[in-house]
Chains A and B, each alone.
Chain A
Amino acid sequence: MHALRRIVALMKKEFLMILKDPRSRFIIIGPPLIQFFVFGYAATYDLKNVSYAALDESKTAESRQLLSRFDGSENFKRVKTLLSDREINTVIDREDARLVLHIGPEFARRIHSGRPATVQVIVDGRNSNVALIALGYINTIVSKYSEDLAEDSKVARRGPGLVLVSRSWFNRNLQSRWFIVSALGGIISMVVVMILTSLSVAREREFGTFDQLLVAPFTPGEILLGKSLPGMLFGLMDALIFCAGAVYWFGVPFRGTVAALITVLACFIVAIVGVGLLVSSLSVTMQQALLGSFVFMMPSVVLSGFATPIENMPQWLQLATHLNPIRYIIKALREVFLEGADVHMLWPQIWPLIIMAAVMLPAAGWLFRHRAQ
């Protein structure tokens, strides 16, 4: 009973610390929200308006038809029409266009004689991912054009064409925004929680108020609990706001259950608070606490599967990612949003988080006592 009162008193102090300062009050809500919206728009692998230059040496109805399909696509935007292949170099070098479609003089003649006509595509590879995706789009447009030529019997055909009919589950139009935005809330709320908790003990140490806290009638466990609860509450609140934003603003479908979402977020936030307190009790100054949390956050975001697939990593690194709490929340959020997971389906992501929380929090408590003496 007394313990409870003491914890409540300590929590009150922590809340006051965060809320009394208008700057830190704003920081908990304002910037994360702005970030969420700005990054939600910025973080996509889908290409729009890829600038291209056309070099049409064929100048026939066929070549113009093909180019008009590019002009009609929202993925491409013609920025230049070249007259000679000597211009290709400068256009790509200077980044005036990201790719050049070069249709040779033989284009129409080859189509009509039943030989394959080629379109040379020169892509700027400085961003290799954009290059590959753009080539994929080009391939789709050109194959469609080829098939249409055959369907309209404009070209003679010797034998059947092989056609790929594609369908995609969970995300019919293959919008990569769904993939990123569903997980973005997890990342941003983690940053908020990490900074709040990792600085909480270090700040007291640097200001010298830590000693006062130690002589107050609190047990180390109570101090830890009082320090961690505000972080958990703010983190969960932020995360839920972001999830609502993903659904209502960005139109990401929410196919799972709210119970599953809250359960997995709560487990994740508790685990992250554990990490934050661990960093906090290891550091003497706020700078150390902050840099310490960066040393944790940067690699673990990189290895979480948030922006690049875990499956592309070498085997040993894939194994190592199992120790990364962010890996689980990213996967869980995508399953809840897009695959329609409930608590039962999320269990494989939930239990590792529970174990991590169960290890981190006592470890932080032990270190905390250990370093306090």
Chain B
Amino acid sequence: MNGSAHFRMRLRGILRKEVLQILRDPSSILLAIVMPMVMLFLFGYGVSLDAENVPIAVVTGDRSPAARELAARFSLSRYFKSHTTTSMAAAEKAMTEGTVEGIVHLQQGFSSDLATRRQAKVQVIVNGIDANRARLVLGYAGGVLEKWGAVRRSRGEPAAVPAVVIRPRIWFNAAADSRNFLVPGLITLIMTLIGVLLTALVVAREWERGTMEAILVTPIRRLDLLLGKVLPYYVLGMLGMVLSVVVGMYLFGVPFRGSFAALFLLSSLFMLASMGFGLFVSAAIRTQFAAAQISILAGFLPALFLSGLLFDLQSTPRFIQIISHIVPARYFVSISHTLFMAGDVWSVLLPNALALTFMAVLFIALAYRKITKRLEG
């Protein structure tokens, strides 16, 4: 037999062992197949940043037809579920108890201001605990006012035209549906989970259980061992990715405007970078407990917080932005957002792909160095 036949034989042997190990432990299948489905389902149906039917109290201290009409406009809006009351105290009590999230106050004299003054003021009080939601609510309230002004003008009643109006257009996601942005990000999270967490355990487990010694006495070489660990989990991770993309597209109607070839290529890079990191941690630390902790704290949580998946990176302080450059998920979130919503924009994809390639090579090389065939660390 020549060298390459030997190599093939060794590789087949170790691959067989790893695949059997995956298939026999339901927990890794659970993580690769069931978990992505559960998460997609939750993100697709459950999680949304778009507020609708926000409960508010409309306090009309003014009983004029104009005030009543404006109050009715608030109850007609799909963004609000309004309760009209005349007592500010009752509204404030409801707000303290959390039954309403905002108060629209049409003060006494609203209609006379409207008839005689240059300005008529509408007070809106919001619960600021969830600042993001409070901002959206204020925006919606402004929208209701604007529309009412337009309706009044169309009836020939006096209402000033705002000197400047904005005409917004949101590209790639015209309805600003947060699902279109959350689902592609979620795929990053799922792949990180498989890539980092599962692989972090695999080498450490061999050391901890003492089976590494059994492997060390076989003719298996370092490269075989590495490939044997990488390939099965790579397949598992890509399976999770494909499943997520299919469900995202067909069940949740998330648009996919890029090419599948680009998706396959770039997600492979990301998968390799994540697995490289996981294997490196695993080989360097050698106990499952610590490897798991590190992979969660340094792999999974940064992928959630420092990747731009949920929180905007560009608004964070500079040092956070610098740290985020060592998080592989950051590059893949940008890639998947672009692929799903904008298409194959290579000027965005290419720099990210380069960074991922660099990280994949770096981590896999580090892991290769750390997987020694010696007993002493």
- Spot the interface stretch: A160-168, A227-235, A265-273, A363-371: A160-168
Determine if B316 and A138 form an interchain contact, defined as CB atoms under 8 angstroms apart: no
B160 within 8 A of A: yes
Mark out the residues of chain A between 148 and 175 whose CB falls within 8 Å of any chain B CB in the assembled complex.
149-150, 154-155, 157-172, 174-175
In the assembled complex, A82 has its CB within 8 A of some CB on chain B:
no
Known A41-B316, A160-B118; judge A129-B49 contact (CB<8 A).
yes
Which residues of B (179-196) have their CB < 8 Å from a CB of A? Answer: 180-181, 193
Residues of A within 8 Å of B127, CB to CB, are: 168-170
On chain A, the residues within 8 Å of B174 by CB distance are: 125
Return B195 CB to nearest CB of chain A, in Å. 14
Which residues of A are found within 8 Å of B42, using beta-carbon distances? 299, 302-303, 317
**Chain B contacts for A158, CB-based, 8 A:** 158, 160-161
Q: Contact partner of A311 among B38, B51, B117, CB < 8 A?
A: B51
Is B5 interfacial (CB-CB < 8 Å)?
no
A side interface size, CB within 8 A = 111
Write out the residue numbers on chain A whose beta carbons fall within 8 Å of the beta carbon of B289.
Answer: 24, 199, 203, 286
Would you give the shortest CB distance from A158 to chain B, in whole angstroms?
6
Query: Which B residue's beta carbon lies closest to that of A200?
Result: B289
- Cβ of B47 < 8 Å from any Cβ of A? yes
Q: Answer whether A308 and B47 are a contact pair too, CB < 8 Å, given A48-B315, A145-B164, A199-B292.
A: yes
Contacts of B294 in A (CB 8 A): 27, 31
Question: Contacts A94-B345, A291-B30, A295-B35; is A166 near B169 (CB within 8 Å)?
Answer: no
Instruction: Count chain B residues whose beta carbon lies closer than 8 angstroms to a beta carbon of A.
Output: 120
Contact of B176 among A125, A154, A311, A334 (CB under 8 A): A125
**Nearest Cβ in chain B — how far from A28, in angstroms?**
9
* Cα A314 to Cα B44 with chains together (Å): 11
Which residues from chain B contact A203 at a C-beta distance below 8 Å? Answer: 289
A124 at the A/B interface (Cβ < 8 Å)?
A: yes
- A123 to B176 alpha-carbon distance, docked (Å): 10
Mask for A111-135, Cβ within 8 A of B = 1, else 0?
Answer: 1001111111111111111111101
Question: Which chain B positions have C-beta within 8 A of A338?
Answer: 129
Q: A92 to chain B: which residues have CB within 8 Å? A: 171
> Does A93 contact B297, Cβ atoms closer than 8 Å?
no
- Interface set, chain B 254-311, CB cutoff 8 A to A: 285, 287-290, 292-294, 296-298, 301-302, 305-306, 308, 310-311
In the assembled complex, the Cα of A27 lies from the Cα of B25 at a distance in Å of: 27
Is residue B131 contacting chain A, with contact meaning CB distance below 8 A?
A: yes
Q: Which residues of B (107-138) have their CB < 8 Å from a CB of A?
A: 113-115, 117-136, 138
The DSSP consensus for interface residues of chain B is helix
In the bound complex, do residue B27 and residue A133 qualify as a contact, i.e. CB atoms below 8 Å apart? no
| Interface mask (A22-64 → B, CB under 8 Å = 1, otherwise 0) | 0110010001100100110111111111110000000000000
Interfacial chain A residues near B209, Cβ < 8 Å: 206
Q: How far is the CB of B212 from chain A (nearest CB, A)?
A: 15
B213 within 8 A of A: no
- A170, B129: Cβ atoms closer than 8 Å: yes
Chain A residues whose C-beta falls within 8 Å of the C-beta of B290 in the assembled complex: 21, 23-24, 27
B301 with A164: CB separation less than 8 A = no
Does B35 contact A298, Cβ atoms closer than 8 Å? yes
- Chain B residues, Cβ within 8 Å of A311: 51, 54, 101, 133
Identify the closest chain B residue to A308 (Cβ).
B47
Contact call B114/A160, Cβ cutoff below 8 A: yes
Note all chain A residues with C-beta closer than 8 A to B30: 291, 295
B163→A150 contact, CB < 8 A: yes
Q: How far is the CB of A70 from chain B (nearest CB, A)?
A: 12
Instruction: Say which residue of A127, A290, A339 sits within 8 Å of B292 (CB atoms).
Output: A290
Q: Quick one: given A159-B158, A171-B129, are A93 and B181 in contact (CB under 8 Å)?
A: no
| A116 proximity list for chain B (CB < 8 A) | 161-165
Q: CB-CB < 8 A to A219: which residues of B?
A: none
Please give, as numbers and ranges, the residues of chain A lying within 8 Å of B161 by CB-CB distance. 114-116, 157-158
B123 touches A167 (CB 8 A): yes
Beyond the given pairs A27-B297, A121-B169, A127-B308, 16 more chain A to chain B contacts, judged by CB atoms under 8 angstroms and listed by A's residue number, are A32-B297, A38-B320, A41-B316, A41-B317, A116-B162, A117-B163, A119-B164, A125-B171, A127-B337, A131-B176, A160-B117, A164-B122, A179-B130, A286-B205, A295-B35, A299-B39
> What would 30 A/B residue contacts be, using CB atoms closer than 8 Å?
A95-B334, A111-B163, A116-B164, A117-B165, A121-B166, A125-B180, A129-B132, A131-B173, A132-B176, A135-B170, A145-B163, A160-B118, A160-B160, A162-B145, A162-B148, A162-B149, A163-B122, A165-B121, A168-B134, A170-B128, A178-B129, A287-B28, A288-B27, A291-B30, A295-B35, A298-B193, A302-B43, A309-B133, A311-B133, A338-B129
Q: Tell me the B residues contacting A by CB distance below 8 Å.
A: 25, 27-28, 30-31, 34-35, 38-39, 42-43, 45-52, 54, 95, 101, 113-115, 117-136, 138-139, 141-142, 145-146, 148-149, 153, 157-174, 176-178, 180-181, 193, 197-198, 201, 205, 208-209, 285, 287-290, 292-294, 296-298, 301-302, 305-306, 308, 310-317, 319-320, 323-324, 334, 337-338, 341-342, 345, 347-348
**A interface, CB within 8 angstroms of B:** 21, 23-24, 27, 31-32, 35, 38-39, 41-51, 66, 92-95, 98, 111, 114-133, 135-136, 138-139, 142-143, 145-147, 149-150, 154-155, 157-172, 174-176, 178-179, 191, 195, 199, 203, 206, 283, 285-288, 290-292, 294-295, 298-299, 302-303, 307-309, 311-314, 317, 334, 338-339
